[in-house]
Amino acid sequence: MTTSYLFLFSLSLISLISSSVALTKPHTPKPNNAFILPIAKDPITLQYSTTINMGTPAVTLDLVVDIRERFLWFECDESYNSSTYHPIQCGTKKCKQSKGAECIDCINHPLKTGCTNHTCGVQPFNPFGEFYVSGDIGEDIISSLRGTLSNVNVPRVISSCIYPNKFGVQGFLQGLAKGKKGILGLARTFISLPTQLATRYKLDRKFTLCLPSTSNSDGLGLGSLFIGGGPYHLPSQKIDASKFLEYTPLITNRHSTGPIFDNLPSTEYFIKVKSIKVDNNIINFNNSLLSIRKKLGIGGTKLSTVIPHTKLHTLIYKSLLNAFVKKAEIRKIKRVKEVAPFGACFDSRTIGKSVTGPNVPTIDFVLKGGVEWRFYGANSMVKVGRNVLCLGFVDGGNEEVGPWDTSIVIGGHQLEDNLLEFDLVSSKLGFSSSLLLNKASCSHFKGF
């Protein structure tokens, strides 16, 4: 009780300070979105990342946001020597809740923060290199440089730290954007940060992404990750963007889909796409690809923040490409030589402009619940050079060898400037479609 009171109090303090109002006496604060973290986009890798502080003294961690990963992990070297760190011992309740897989000792290094004996071990996964190692789990205090976390210290947050070279593994950060120290995992697990914070502060078990389409580093290009629910205030408008949300159920895939395979249901976020339209016409392909096959967990549709462009099973991809090219032709859009990995590119001088980006055929995902997620030019087209725009969906192949073969994986470019609320209590996804329609975006949230 005391903690949550203090916590709310510090939130009201922040808002008062940030609006430059002198603080005379504390007002009774109203619970707001509990936590907001900034999201930046790396211009080279197109990865999205956030920044937190960890430990005492604090180290600053830039972490790539991955909704598929199960927990927060980071590489911790000598600079992480924290007096508030508590290793989680193997065999404990917290170790079980964290799905600890093994018991780790600190070998070939002196004991230090993140390298202790008899410690609960998990398997942090690098989604770019597609490999994992063993990592200790421990608890430590987190705070943030920017965002509302800045004045709120959250003690005893569980994460995993990988001591470089502990297992002779070098370069575990391979593939992560320059300067990034690990991954902020947001999958549906007990120890993902949203669930830990929601449990601790009795917040809604929800997190909401607003991924930026720009990558300015001057503070203008930041999107946000809200943890704990709305309202979601967009800078250009005085209104709460949750009113733009429509909802579709989050589907449970009863089969593990990685990164670590076990006998448990997938912790990833699946939705049900029922059909796909291009300029309002349903396209044809073998529709059984859109269902998750009960026995194997193959098929269906999930979301990813670490692949830059939506991947489609070859049959879906070909159908979409053909339909899009035909509709583009009707609009007198000139096709030019394609640029890998894309299959259809166009002369942008033959494409009009609109508030939602290049004026191209619309692509709709018709979803369970009778709602449609529309992708306009800003989300469907990728600029690859002067005067060249390509359809930003890629061929995901047609191999069906295991449960990692999801037919549609919706990637970052298609998620940008969309507000996406992952509601883990009601198990539904709220999506806004392009905020540009409402003259808003995810690229200049205030408050950082």
Ligand X SMILES: *[C@@H]1O[C@H](CO)[C@@H](O)[C@H](O)[C@H]1NC(C)=O
Positions that interact with ligand X (CB under 6 A): 78, 81, 83, 105-107, 111-112, 117, 286, 288
* Minimum CB distance to ligand X smaller for 92 or for 217: 92
- Min dist. Cβ of residue 375 to ligand X (A): 25
229 sits in the region (left: phi over 0; alpha: psi -120 to 50; else beta) called: left
Considering the complex, state which of residue 63 and residue 104 has its C-beta at the smaller distance from ligand X. 104
CB 51 within 8 A of CB 59: no
Closest approach of ligand X to the CB of residue 300, in Å: 12
3-state secondary structure of 11: helix
Cβ count near 62 (within 10 Å) = 19
If residue 375 lies in a helix (H) or strand (E), which one and from where to where?
A: strand 371-375
Is the distance from CB of 445 to CB of 214 less than 8 angstroms? Answer: no
Nearest to ligand X of 125, 163 (CB atom): 163
Q: Which is nearer to ligand X, 112 or 374 (CB)?
A: 112
The β-bridge partners of 66 are 185
Tell me the CA distances in angstroms from 21 to 17, 185, 238, one per residue in order.
Answer: 6, 36, 19
Rounded to the nearest 5 degrees, what angle is found at the Cα of 64, between the Cα atoms of 60 and 70? Answer: 105
Ramachandran region, residue 17 (left: φ > 0; alpha: ψ -120 to 50; beta: rest) = alpha
In whole angstroms, the minimum distance from the beta carbon of 322 to ligand X comes to: 17
The pair of three-digit structure tokens given for residue 154, joined into one six-digit string: 């959250």
Distance between CA 445 and CA 210 in Å, rounded? Answer: 9
C-alpha span between 194 and 196 (Å, rounded): 6
Query: What's the helix, strand, coil split of the chain in %, to 5?
Result: 15, 35, 50
Give me the least distance between CB of 52 and ligand X, in Å please: 21
Shortest distance in whole angstroms from residue 255 CB to ligand X: 16
Which CB atom, from 262 or from 399, has the smaller least distance to ligand X?
399
- Choose between 103 and 169: whose C-beta lies nearer to ligand X: 103
In the complex, what is the shortest distance from the CB of residue 293 to ligand X, in angstroms, rounded to a whole number?
Answer: 7
Nearer of residues 195 and 407 to ligand X, judged by Cβ: 407
Shortest CB 408 distance to ligand X, Å: 14
Residue 119 or 418 having the CB closest to ligand X: 119
If the CB atoms of residues 180 and 272 are measured against ligand X, the closer one turns out to be 272
Where in 11-47 does DSSP place strands (E)? 35-41
DSSP 216: -
Identity (one letter) of the amino acid at 430? G
Shortest distance in whole angstroms from residue 83 CB to ligand X:
5
| Inter-axis angle of helices 193-201 and 2-18, nearest 10 | 110
Alpha carbon distance 429, 446 (integer Å)? 24
| Residues pairing with 50 in the sheet | 63
Output the smallest distance, CB 79 to ligand X, in A: 9
